[in-house]
Amino acid sequence: MTVERIFDELGHFNRFQACLYFAAVFQAIACGIHYLASVFLVETPNFVCSVPGNITDVLYGNLTGSSLEDFMPVFKSKTGPLVVRTAEGEQWELSRCRCALRINPKEFTYDFDGNKTVKTCDGNFVYDHSEVYQSIVTDWDLVCEKEWLAKLCQPTFMLGVLIGALVFGDIADRVGRVRILMFTSLCQFGLGVTVAFSGNYYFFMVVRFLLAMVSSGYLVVVFVYVTEFTGIKVRTWTSMHVHAAFAVGIMVVALTGYLVRVWWIYQIILSICTSPFLLFCWKFPETPFYLMAKGHYKEAQTLLDTIARFNGLECRLKAEELLEPEDRENGRALLEQEAEEQPSQTEKKLSIVDLFGSWRMAGRTCTVWAIWFIGSLGYYVFSLGSVNLGGNQYINLFLAGAVELPSYLVGCFAMDRIGRKKTCAPALLLAGVACMLIIVVPADIEALAIALCMTGKFAIAIAFGLIYLYTCELYPTIIRSLAVGSGSMMCRVGSVVAPFCVYLADVWIYLPQLIVGILAFVIGVLTMLLPETLGKPLTTTLEEAEALGRKKKDGMEMNLHGAKA
């Protein structure tokens, strides 16, 4: 017998589990919000150098005017400079990062063949406020020689996500899932609001880094939490649709960015979107899998009674009945020990080395990590690049989030019918093929290129969505959060690399697609070597844990050996 019997007795997705699930997933929206918020936080509007003195006349090709702001919506640096005349009679040619003072001009014309004094901007810029009224770029002039500071924001955030995934995944296995969910939720709200009151760039970066850590921590642990509270019959759907909440967060970012063009107001609104979650997250119980794995049978029994009562059922299930017959006496003894508040047995600390306990497990872990990496790399290359597809950037980002919703529905149906592996591998292969086709499609067929881009995002979202559940099913309870956390760490390596991959388009416009396409195709082939887990119950067996090469003390063995799959 296993802990999975709980769901056969008390329901796979009854009222108790449904309430917990939708509450926990609601907060996952905040993760999607903070991950993509920087798309508009660091948006760089059109700009041009400013000059000392009052400007009286402006020329741009055949256009004339008296204010630089009037020309910002139409100014394109590649077509030529803006020519201005000041009240003192000086004539300047203005571009984005340089300006040139005309020497002894005779007339005020757009073309000038005389001598010029060229110099870099002195830190004064005029920005186009028609699309973005205020961003951190306009507030702190992160342009020209400071442009790299703006480009560093997203990779730095993803570095925080990487560290948070590993740290909080490990801690959740030690102190429990619920404590981490509560801590990270509170920090997401507090740090999110704090970002809005950043007085300078460096404080902004530090707070965003910490925000990335706690957002990542919540996202990693919530997958484990909802997976361990739902039965096999619905586990595919519940785990995949946590990603749907993340996609909703992306759409919230697009909508809020369209309605609010001041970055600090935009940040505050995004941070309070999911604040109602803080009112009831402290009532969340620990998962039955964690309680049984740690030998807390008395607490597990209390939880079973609570679930049954909330679901309107009679609880006939006892915690010790989840143990094998030969271990029930040990389970009862442990219950008595807990009642007498006797000291618990000392547990061996877990580490990432436990994921490489055998050659077979090491190969499995490396392949799973590769899927995490390419899933994240492809996901963020498509997402971050969506605002550059042309047209309305807010609609583009909204669609980039919306296209994920049908992908998770298709993924769920496929996972339940043909299995996790046979869904993941074709999805990666399809993403690779879509990237290659984007390269060969003529540039003037824009609609087809966009359709292929959305196809790639659709396919990569399926693989990226199912790898969470797949990883949960491939590893035992005692290292499940560590496995998901380390996999998410590799995923965040991909997300850190993704912005730089997008920047490679300056070298060759199709280089990002070429990189993602090759990696997706190769890893898709390797995925076929993984074992299938369709219908496999989440396990808490000591034997499977020991297969990783871990040796436990007798006291630890008595605690964990009871719940066999």
User: pLDDT tens digits, residue range 210-250?
Assistant: 999 999 899 888 888 888 888 878 877 887 788 889 999 99
- Whether 386 is covered by a domain: the verdict is yes
User: Which H helix or E strand runs over 59?
Assistant: strand 55-60
- What is the Cα–Cα distance from 318 to 83, expressed in whole angstroms? 83
Q: Mean pLDDT over all residues of the chain? A: 80
In a domain? residue 199 = no
**139 occurs within a structural domain:** no
Choosing from 130, 154, 172, the residue where a domain stops is 130
At 236 the pLDDT is 75
- The pLDDT score that the predictor gives to residue 15 is 86
Q: What is the predicted pLDDT for the residue at 320?
A: 64
Query: In terms of Cα–Cα distance, which of 453, 487, 455 is closest to 469?
Result: 487
Question: At 65, which helix (H) or strand (E)?
Answer: strand 63-65
Coarse DSSP helix, strand, coil percentages of the chain, rounded to the nearest 5 percent: 65, 5, 25
Strands 82-86 and 55-60: antiparallel
Q: Exposure pattern of 221-239 as b/e (b: 16+ CB <10 Å)? A: bbbbbbbbbbbbebbbbbb
Question: Quick count: other Cβ atoms within 10 Å of Cβ 111?
Answer: 7
Distance CA 392, CA 410 (A): 28
Cα distances from 460 to residues 378, 430, 455, 465, in angstroms, run 6, 8, 9, 8
pLDDT of residue 459: 93
The pLDDT of residue 344: 42
Predicted local distance difference test score (pLDDT) of residue 274: 84
Q: Which two tokens stand for residue 205?
A: 């970066």
Residue 417: inside a domain: yes
Residue 377, classified by CB atoms within 10 Å of its CB into exposed (0-12), middle (13-18) or buried (19+), is buried
Q: What is the pLDDT of residue 543?
A: 41
DSSP state of 443: T
Q: Are 281 and 23 a contacting pair, CB within 8 Å? A: yes
Tell me which DSSP letter residue 229 carries: T
Q: Which of 101, 130, 159 is the last residue of a domain?
A: 130
Distance from C-alpha of 288 to C-alpha of 281, rounded to nearest angstrom: 17
Has residue 444 been placed in a domain?
yes
Which helix (H) or strand (E) segment is 394 a member of?
helix 393-402
β-pairing, 47-49 vs 125-127, is: antiparallel
446: its two tokens = 């824009």
Is 100 a member of any domain? yes
Residue 271 lies in a domain: no
Residue 551 CA to its chain's centroid (Å): 35
CA distance 135 to 265: 10
In which domain, by residue range, is 124 found?
A: 47-130
Q: What is the DSSP string of 291-310?
A: HHHTT-HHHHHHHHHHHHHH
DSSP 126: E
Residues in the chain, pLDDT under 70: 1-4, 77, 315, 317, 319-351, 389-391, 477-478, 481, 534-565
pLDDT at position 187 is 92
* Final residue before a domain boundary, out of 108, 130, 152: 130
Total count of domains within the chain: 2
Q: State residue 319's pLDDT score.
A: 62
Contacts of 22 (CB under 8 A, 6+ apart): none
In DSSP terms, which residues pair with 60 in a beta bridge?
63
Kindly report whether the global pTM for this prediction surpasses the value 0.75. yes
Buried-exposed string 194-206: b where 16+ CB fall within 10 A, e elsewhere: bbbebeebeebbe
What is the SS3 assignment for 194? helix
| pLDDT for res 371 | 93
pLDDT digits (tens, 9 = 90+) for 520-535: 999 998 888 887 775 5
Q: What percent of the chain has pLDDT over 70?
A: 85
Report the C-alpha gap between 554 and 51 in whole angstroms: 78
**CATH number of the domain to which 449 belongs:** 1.20.1250.20
List b or e across 380-400, with b for residues whose CB sees 16 or more CB atoms inside 10 angstroms: bbbbbbbbebeeebbebbbbb
Is 390 domain-assigned?
yes
Residue 195 vs residues 49, 72, 219, 264, 286: alpha-carbon distances, Å: 28, 29, 20, 8, 31
Token pair of 240 as six digits: 């995949």
